[in-house]
Amino acid sequence: MVSSSLILAALAAVASAAPRACKAPPALILPKVGGDTQLPAPATNLRVKKIALGHGIQNYTCASPDAEPAATGALAVLYDVTSLFPGTRRTGVSQQAWDALPSTVLHGQALPLNVLEGSQFGADASTPFPAPADLAVPDAAAKFLGHHFFDAAGVPVFDLAEAGLQAAVKKDAGVPAPADADKGPLGTGAVAWLKLDDNGKGRSKGLATVFRVVTAGGNPQACGSVGEGTQSVPYATYYWFYG
């Protein structure tokens, strides 16, 4: 009688001899924040359609030097990093490079926006976005995917023009970024991780839920230090798009 350990050894040999081409694609699993509070999971019928790296600015306004900054919107360019996900055959990057990519881009790349003259991080209001261009960071090239902006009614929109996908969303849930998250070029801290859902107005195309995770920078400066008025704070993050 053949011992079960021999059979196991034989199976192991077959498995290790299997050509690499048979490797299953990695399961795309959202990262967890790290604390006690987690974002709700996506609905079980949804699948990851795209993972984007977003790089841009978060806008705030201060009503007075004593006020709390109020969020007024955001502008970002989206790059398609789906194929860089660790474990993806041929194109996946290391886990370490993946985890660091929002920081790498935030600190290593110029803001992909048309600069508002006289401001440090502001974007031109009438034409904030330059012509579409790909992202080129060492070992992590990514194609231009689209734009994130707030429309005239203040609705957050993700226009994944290159993929024919769009999401017009409202916030469903948010949790603070992990304590060790990248505080950004101004040292203000990383914006919260969010779950955003289709806002039910029939404007989304092929997308139902968006997660903002692994944020770097984007929190406002105190109104006491910047005074009354608007401010734009650079940030980078992953957006996971489900549909």
Binding site for ligand NAG (CB under 6 A): 59, 72-73, 75, 116, 122-125, 128, 150, 232
- DSSP letter (8 states) at residue 18: S
**In the bound complex, which residue of the shown chain has the CB atom lying closest to ligand NAG?**
73
Cα–Cα dist 209/46, whole Å: 8
Provide, rounded to whole angstroms, the least separation between the CB of residue 199 and ligand NAG: 16
Comparison of 88 and 114: residue with beta carbon closer to ligand NAG: 114
Q: What Cα–Cα distance (Å) separates residue 10 from each residue in 7, 22, 23, 62, 201?
A: 5, 18, 19, 68, 57
**Residue closer to ligand NAG, measured from CB, 117 or 180:** 117
Least distance to ligand NAG, CB of residue 127, Å: 9
Q: 187 in the Ramachandran plot: left (φ > 0), alpha (ψ -120 to 50) or beta?
A: left
Nearer to ligand NAG, 93 or 191 (CB): 191
Token readout for 166 is 């769009």
CA-to-CA dists, residue 46 to 13, 148, 197, 208, angstroms: 37, 21, 12, 8
Q: In whole angstroms, how close is the CB of 155 to ligand NAG at the nearest point?
A: 10
Could you say which DSSP state residue 23 is in? P
Q: Between residues 13 and 125, which has the closer beta carbon with respect to ligand NAG? A: 125
Q: By C-beta, is 51 or 236 nearer to ligand NAG?
A: 236
